[in-house]
Amino acid sequence: MAPIPSAAPPASTELPLDCNGRPLDLSRPQVMGVLNVTPDSFSDGGDFFSVDAACERALAMQAEGAAIIDIGGESTRPGAEPVPAVEEIRRVVPVIETLHAQLRIPLSIDTQKAEVMRAAVAAGAGLINDVNALRAPGALAAAAECRVPVCLMHMQGEPRSMQQQPHYDEVLTEVSDFLRQRMAACEAAGIGRERIVLDPGFGFGKTVQHNLQLLAGLDKLAALGQPLLVGLSRKSMIGKLLRLEVGERLPASLALALLAVERGAVLVRAHDVAATWQALQMVAALRDSGAQAPGR
């Protein structure tokens, strides 16, 4: 019997993302583990970080349930200074090469620079996570040539100054319009929809109120039809709402992760992989059970 043609295209999360030959299953919520390879993380005791220590952490994150590891060699924290491309490449490429050989899950490169994208994907990275949504010179062309999926994130302003005076008339509409424009730019450059992940960019040129409005309306961004990634782990909105230091923000980070997944996010970027994975497993268990609230 011939299959019945379906009217609607398949939901973007039915097919796994092809991350440079390694599949990333998005049919259930997944954790993206954060691996910063900057001199202030995994210090070797001097001004450099230790490749061994960074790789050990990535192996632990895979064992804790991470579906992908996001590797970044330049801090994108508010107020951070830019790092030259050669230095960023020197930091990330040895880690990517080692991890590509040691891990089974795909790797993501957190960068805004075309040269770093090319070097990282050549070393084995399977996804480009760009907080600047491929707006840097040459970034669109580089990502198109790399033939890996890209995460397009919204940011107002630039890291150095973005938290000084964030302003929106309607934050949800403006973020949604921006992401649609960047998707169109990608398609024009030869990056098809099957390779695009979207992210509202919590904390990137946003007040606490802006972040809350985006979280409340996340289902509207999910309706753009692409998989949604969110980064809420340990973010300053938690510190501002609860007056907690970075190391004290796990319970609220887990709550935010669940609220985002309930509103359509499929990838959760997180520092605390084991705890986040356990929380997301509870969502998956509830969904898999098919259980419904009575009276529907």
Which residues contribute to the site for ligand 8Y7 (CB under 6 A)?
A: 34, 72, 76-77, 110, 129, 131, 151, 153, 199, 201-202, 229, 231, 235, 269
Mark whether 240 is an active-site residue: no
Compute the least distance from the CB of residue 180 to ligand 8Y7, in Å.
17
Compute the least distance from the CB of residue 148 to ligand 8Y7, in Å.
15
- Pick between residue 93 and residue 229 the one whose CB is nearest to ligand 8Y7: 229
Taking the CB of residue 16, how many other CB atoms lie within 10 A of it?
12
For 287, residues 6+ apart whose C-beta sits below 8 A from its C-beta are: 28
Compute the least distance from the CB of residue 5 to ligand 8Y7, in Å.
35
CA angle 259, 235, 25 (to 5 degrees): 50
- Pick between residue 62 and residue 76 the one whose CB is nearest to ligand 8Y7: 76
Does residue 158 contact residue 82 with C-beta atoms inside 8 Å?
A: no
Nearest residue relative to ligand 8Y7 (C-beta): 231
- Pick between residue 247 and residue 295 the one whose CB is nearest to ligand 8Y7: 247
**Which of 113, 235, 249, 263 is labelled catalytic?**
235
Compute the least distance from the CB of residue 291 to ligand 8Y7, in Å.
31
Does residue 294 contact residue 38 with C-beta atoms inside 8 Å?
A: no
The number of residues making up the chain comes to 296
Compute the least distance from the CB of residue 295 to ligand 8Y7, in Å.
38
**Which of 57, 113, 234, 269 is labelled catalytic?**
269
Mark whether 269 is an active-site residue: yes
3-state SS, residue 167: coil
Axis crossing angle, helix 139-146 with helix 114-123, rounded to the nearest 10: 20
Query: What backbone phi and psi angles, to 5 degrees, belong to 70?
Result: -100, 115
**Residues paired with 229 in a beta bridge:** 267
Residue 19 carries which side chain, given as an amino acid letter? C
Compute the least distance from the CB of residue 286 to ligand 8Y7, in Å.
25
- Pick between residue 176 and residue 293 the one whose CB is nearest to ligand 8Y7: 176
Concatenating the DSSP letter of every residue in 29-81 gives: -EEEEEEE-STTSSB-SSSSB-HHHHHHHHHHHHHTT-SEEEEESS--STTPP
- Pick between residue 209 and residue 286 the one whose CB is nearest to ligand 8Y7: 209
Concatenating the DSSP letter of every residue in 253-289 gives: HHHHHHHHHHTT--EEEES-HHHHHHHHHHHHHHHHH
- Pick between residue 22 and residue 235 the one whose CB is nearest to ligand 8Y7: 235
Catalytic positions are 235, 269
